[in-house]
Chains A and B, each alone.
Chain A
Amino acid sequence: MDAAPIQPVEDPPSGEASAAPAAVHPALLDEFWRDCGARAWGLERSDFDRILLVVAMAQNFGLASGVAAQRKEQAAFFHSLKLDDLVLAKACAVGNERAWEHFMAVYGQPLTRAAIAISGNETLGRDLADAFYAELYGLSTRDGERRCPLDSYRGRGSLLGWLRTTLAQRFVDHYRRTFREQSLDDQVHDVAVSNSVPSPEPAILATLRQAIHAALRDQPAEEQFLLAAYYADDKTLAEIGQVLHVHEATISRRLRRATDAVRKHLLRNLEKSGMSRRGAEEALGIDPRDLDLKMDLRKLLQSSVPEPFTVQAITDPVAAQETIARASLSDEAKTTG
Chain B
Amino acid sequence: MNPTLKSGMHPDAEILTAFAEQLLPAVEHDRILAHMATCNRCREVLFLAQQATSEDQVVPVAGSAVASAKKRASGFNGWRWMWIPATAFAGLIGVAVIMHFRHAASETQVTAKLSPTDNLRKEESVRTTTANPPPASQSSEALKQVTRATPSEARDGAVLTDKDTAKELDEKKSIERRQVSVGAAAPPMVLQPGLPGNSIHGMMAARAKSAPVGGPMAANQFQQQSVAEQQNALQSQSAQFDATNSPVIAGSVPAAASQTVTVQPKAEVSAPAPAQPAPLDLIPMTGQSYSLSSVSSSAVSKAQRISLPTGLGTLSVARSGGRTIALDTAGALFLSEDAGKHWQPVHMQWTGHAVLVRTRPTGTQTDTLQAPQTARFELINDNLQTWVSSDGKIWTLEPLPVK
**Residues of A that sit less than 8 Å from B by CB:** 110, 113-115, 117-118, 152-154, 156-158, 161-162, 164-169, 171-172, 176, 221-222, 224-225, 227-229, 232-233, 235, 239, 242-243, 245, 300-301, 306, 308-313, 316, 319-320
Tell me the interface secondary structure of chain A in the complex: helix
- Does B38 contact A167, Cβ atoms closer than 8 Å? no
Residues of the B chain whose Cβ atoms lie less than 8 Å from the Cβ of A300: 40
Q: Are B49 and A168 in contact (CB under 8 A)?
A: yes
Pairwise interchain contact B30-A316, C-beta atoms closer than 8 A = no
Contacts of A243 in B (CB 8 A): 20, 46-47, 50
Within the complex, which residue of A115, A161, A228, A308 is in contact with B40, where a contact is CB–CB below 8 Å? A228
Q: How many B residues have CB within 8 A of the partner chain?
A: 42
Q: Are B50 and A311 in contact (CB under 8 A)?
A: no
Complex A-B: 17 CB contacts under 8 Å:
A113-B56, A114-B53, A156-B18, A157-B20, A164-B17, A164-B56, A165-B16, A172-B44, A222-B33, A225-B34, A225-B37, A227-B37, A233-B43, A233-B44, A233-B47, A311-B7, A313-B35
Residues of chain A within 8 A of B403, CB atoms compared: none
Interface string of B46-78 (1 = CB under 8 A from A): 111111111110000000000000000000000
Minimum C-beta distance from A334 to chain B (A): 23
CB–CB B47/A165 < 8 A: no
Closest to B23 in A: A157
Report the Cα distance A308→B39, complex, angstroms: 10
What A residues does B254 contact at CB under 8 A? Answer: none
With A and B bound together, what is the CA distance between A158 and B20 in angstroms?
Answer: 10
User: Given known contacts A113-B56, A171-B48, A239-B50, is B14 in contact with A312 (CB within 8 Å)?
Assistant: no
- CB pair B22–A221 under 8 Å, yes or no, is no
List B residues 1-32 near A (Cβ within 8 Å): 7-18, 20-24, 30
Q: Check A118/B9 contact, CB under 8 A, given A165-B16, A172-B44, A312-B38.
A: no
What are the residues of chain A within 8 A of B15 when measuring CB–CB?
A: 156
Q: How far is the CA of A177 from the CA of B95 in the complex (A)?
A: 86
Task: Tell me whether B45 is interfacial, beta carbon within 8 Å.
Answer: yes
Q: Is B189 an interface residue (CB 8 A)?
A: no
A213 CB, nearest partner CB in chain B, Å: 11
| B41 close to A (CB within 8 Å) | yes
With A168-B46, A310-B7 given, name 9 new contacts (CB 8 A): A113-B55, A156-B15, A161-B53, A165-B17, A167-B52, A221-B30, A221-B34, A225-B37, A312-B35
A157 CB contact (under 8 Å) in B14, B36, B48:
B14
For A176, list chain B residues within 8 Å (CB).
Answer: 41
Bound-state Cα–Cα, A172 to B22, Å? 23
Q: How close is A95's CB to chain B, nearest CB, in angstroms?
A: 21
A242 touches B52 (CB 8 A): no
A118 touches B39 (CB 8 A): no
Taken together as a complex, chains A and B put the C-alpha atoms of A253 and B327 apart, in Å, by 69
Contacts of B43 in A (CB 8 A): 225, 228-229, 233
Contact of A316 among B12, B17, B24, B39 (CB under 8 A): B39
Is B234 located at the chain interface by the 8 A CB criterion? Answer: no
User: Cβ of A152 and Cβ of B12 under 8 Å apart?
Assistant: yes
Q: Are B36 and A225 in contact (CB under 8 A)?
A: yes
Query: CB < 8 Å: which of B23, B47, B54, B55 contacts A229?
Result: B47
Q: Check if B143 is an interface residue, CB within 8 A of chain A.
A: no
Contact between B48 and A118, CB atoms less than 8 A apart: yes
Interface residue? B149 (CB, 8 A): no
Chain B residues within an 8 Å CB radius of A306: 9-10, 39, 41
